[in-house]
Amino acid sequence: RRRPWVCSALAVLLLLAVLRPPQLTRTLTRWPPPDWSYVQCAVGQGDAAVLSVGPGTAVVVDAGPEPEPVDACLRALEVSRVPLLLLTHFHADHVGGLSGVLRGRAVGVIQTTTLEEPAGQAAFVRRTAAAARVPVAAASAGERRRAGPLEWQVLWPAPDGPRPEGPNDASVALLVRGAGLTLLLLGDLEPPSQ
């Protein structure tokens, strides 16, 4: 004799395993925690840091090398608004995922370093931002910003300092405080510039 409820239960479990609704995934994996403040997304080589500034809202620092991992991370965190996307420098492993951050999200401004090298990646950022109608601005040392419980200060590159030797040494460095956090985000700043 057959048990139709067993087949129905298996079909529902299979559907849940394939679709992985966010609330169910969060309940089963306990990730992300409900009151997360800071997440370093797994994007492969490169960086993508996410700082919560309110429900559904986060500041994102770098975008990783490809769009899919950062988009998946932001979806899992249920981030729909990004008042600031800071790209520390223009190497592909920090800017290649830009379209993943922009995908389906309201982004206020993209801030970058002043050294537009490599030129091809800097042009990619400008084109992608223009297509999404997101303004691009250069970060400058001493600048202070605040969003939600977080405040941060741009520490580097120094506006009147020597010209950086390359993109890594032109990385925007931030000191972030608030929500129980103190973070020093250095991009790929090399030891002599630190």
Radius of gyration of the chain (CA): 19
38-40 β-sheet, strand order: 38-40, 49-54, 57-61, 81-87, 106-112, 136-138
The low-confidence residues of the chain, meaning pLDDT below 50, are none
Q: What is the pLDDT of residue 19?
A: 66
Superfamily in which the 33-185 domain is placed by CATH: Ribonuclease Z/Hydroxyacylglutathione hydrolase-like (3.60.15.10)
In this predicted structure, what is the pLDDT of residue 189? 67
pLDDT given for residue 46 in this prediction: 76
Contact 189, 155 (CB under 8 A): no
Give the Cα separation of 92 and 188 in Å (integer): 12
Long-range contacts of 122-125 (CB under 8 A, 24+ apart): 122/90, 124/95, 124/98, 125/87, 125/90, 125/95, 125/98
pLDDT for res 23: 61
Distance CA 167, CA 55 (A): 34
pLDDT score for 162: 64
Q: Which amino acid is at 12?
A: V
Domain ranges of the chain: 1-30, 33-185
Residue-level pLDDT at 152: 92
